[in-house]
Amino acid sequence: MSVIDFNKLPKPARVNLSYGRVVAYPHKKTHDCKEQIINEFDPKHAGYVLFESYANCPSRDLSKQVYLTHMDTLMIIKAYEEDKRFKTAINEGCHVNACDELKRLRSTGASLATLQSAGKDYGLCESEIVEIFQSGYR
């Protein structure tokens, strides 16, 4: 009888997002059949990067999911780092998303201190945060 050392099992790398997550699942071992069974983390997801978002979804249970290879994910990251037009488009979209999130938070009756804390996390400047706070409920 063999003992399984769970500390040696490959674990997925996970990043939580505001409305979802990204999980990089490890590949299956291929050089030894016996090790493949032990080291396989999740046969359904092994070797993929899962992007999951429930933004603009009726519930978390109905989230949008996409599985990309590790290579495709790396190519997206490289495109962001190397292509100025792509990076600008992503950054501008991120800024609009951050402002929208702060407006949603403001609509709940959040205080200026709460908006400032969240706005700094979103990368917004102080003047934008104050402007959103002063705009009132929407």
More reliable by pLDDT, 30 or 118:
118
Q: Are 124 and 106 in contact (CB under 8 A)?
A: no
Per-residue pLDDT tens over the stretch 50-106: 999 998 888 888 899 999 999 999 999 999 999 999 999 999 999 999 999 999 999
Neighbours of 86 (CB within 10 A): 14
pLDDT score of 137 more than 60: no
| Per-domain residue ranges of the chain | 1-68, 82-137
Q: 120: Cβ–Cβ under 8 A, 6 or more apart, which residues? A: 129
Q: Which helix (H) or strand (E) holds 24?
A: strand 20-24
